[in-house]
Amino acid sequence: MAATDRQFGAVTVLVGDQNGKYPHGNSLWVRGREATVVIDPSLSVVNRADELRGRADIVVQSHVHEDHVAGVHLFPKAKVYAHREDARGLQNLDGLMDIYGYGGLNDAMRHFVEEQFHYVARPDAHFFEDGEVFALGETQIRVIHAPGHTRGHCVLLVEPEGVLFLGDIDLSSFGPYYGDAWSNLADFERSLQRVREIEARVWVSFHHVGVVEDRHTFLTKLDRFAGKIAERDAALVEFLAEPRSIPDMVARRFLYPPHATMSFIDAAERRTIEQHLDRLMARGQVERCDTDLYRSCE
């Protein structure tokens, strides 16, 4: 394996370019006595195709997004698994488009995931549920459902090593992403609390942070990551000091930086903003003052 990889007993963290910065990611390679598993085969795995092709017996997905399935095609004989709520995104490309929910951008997204992320449908994909265990001999992988990023997003605990794979609870300064049709802000908040309570010794994020080996450091990063939600609430309330429409808010950008230009950004911004508006109106912090306009109540 590459020099940057990290080893924890039966677990190897396949560290991606720039510590897994998108479009790359940090994948797990788990060797058990009875089977070998790759978790979230990313472009980092694709970059090692000569070394890894066909060597995994099982592919386990934390969830189904383009960057997490980029290497699935390298393991055509492996059994492939995702949570019941996300498995359709593996089974066919229409299912993945449903997860995104970008509507008129579907044709562009289809091309994007096929060309840039080597998407290959797996109609034979299996599904798992919360609490299921992949027994590999002396090593096992336990599924913990942690929805919000997608309906089927899970974290995966490898035991006895105590390695918790966080998927896209990535601890980054960007903060939680819940901008797709199958994303949910309230679910994400509950998942952040659930993950906080899991006993582990090593935490691995798919993007950016990578490996964390100290619980205090993990909790500090988790709190900062979760804190972006309240920051977005506050930024919206401030922006709505004057009446604004949802297109005004989308143009202002509360999720992505102004220089980001990817085609799906407006759709993700809108989905994110609408969820924040719902909670802010329920709290009495924002009101609808016209058919198409919103303003803060403070």
Residues 253 and 207 in one domain: no
Dump pLDDT digits (tens) for 161-204.
Answer: 999 999 999 999 999 999 999 999 999 999 999 999 999 999 99
Give the domain CATH number at 233.
1.10.10
The residue out of 208, 225, 242 marking a domain boundary is: 225
What is the end-to-end Cα distance of the chain in Å, rounded?
56
Average pLDDT over residues 59-83: 98
Residues 110 and 252 in one domain: no
Longest dimension (CA), the chain: 64
Dump pLDDT digits (tens) for 231-245.
Answer: 999 999 999 999 999
Q: Average pLDDT, whole number, for the chain?
A: 96
Read off the tokens for 39.
Answer: 């978790």
Q: Which helix (H) or strand (E) holds 286?
A: strand 286-288
Do 101 and 181 contact (CB within 8 A), yes or no?
yes
Dump pLDDT digits (tens) for 135-158.
Answer: 999 999 999 999 999 999 999 999
Length of the chain: 298
The residue out of 225, 243, 265 marking a domain boundary is: 225
pLDDT computed for residue 94 by the predictor: 96
Do 286 and 296 contact (CB within 8 A), yes or no?
yes
Residues 56 and 86 in one domain: yes
Query: CA angle, corner 54, sides to 18 and 43, nearest 5?
Result: 20
The residue out of 175, 196, 225 marking a domain boundary is: 225
15 in any annotated domain? yes
1 in any annotated domain? no
3-class SS of residue 185: helix
Spatial CA neighbour of 78 closest among 56, 95, 97:
56
List Cα–Cα distances, 24 to 43, 103, 145, 208, 272, in angstroms.
5, 25, 23, 9, 24
Give the β-pairing of 126-128 and 133-135: unpaired
For 162-178, the DSSP string reads: TEEE-TT----TT----
Residues 154 and 249 in one domain: no
Spatial CA neighbour of 218 closest among 190, 188, 193, 196:
196
Residues 156 and 290 in one domain: no
CA distance 41 to 5: 14
197 in any annotated domain? yes
Residues 46 and 160 in one domain: yes
Residues 197 and 154 in one domain: yes
Do 156 and 141 contact (CB within 8 A), yes or no?
yes
- Side-chain half-sphere exposure of 179, counting CA atoms within 13 A: 22
List Cα–Cα distances, 174 to 109, 126, 169, 202, in angstroms.
22, 32, 11, 22
pLDDT computed for residue 217 by the predictor: 98
From the CA atom positions of the chain, what is the Rg in Å? 19
Domain that holds residue 237: 229-296
149 in any annotated domain? yes
Give the β-pairing of 202-204 and 11-14: unpaired
CB atoms within 10 A of CB 178: 24
pLDDT at 1 over 70: no
Residues 127 and 202 in one domain: yes
Residues 220 and 254 in one domain: no
Dump pLDDT digits (tens) for 126-136.
Answer: 999 999 999 99
87 pLDDT band, cuts 50/70/90, is very high
Number of domains in the chain: 2
Residues 145 and 272 in one domain: no
Spatial CA neighbour of 63 closest among 90, 36, 38:
90
Read off the tokens for 35.
Answer: 């089977």
Omega before residue 160 within 30° of 0, cis: yes
Residue found under tokens 């394996």: 1
Total-model pTM: 0.96
Give the domain CATH number at 68.
3.60.15.10
Residues 60 and 136 in one domain: yes
Residues 12 and 80 in one domain: yes
Sign of CA dihedral 14, 73, 130, 271: positive
List, in sequence order, every beta strand (DSSP E) within 49-139: 58-60, 79-83, 126-128, 133-135
116 in any annotated domain? yes
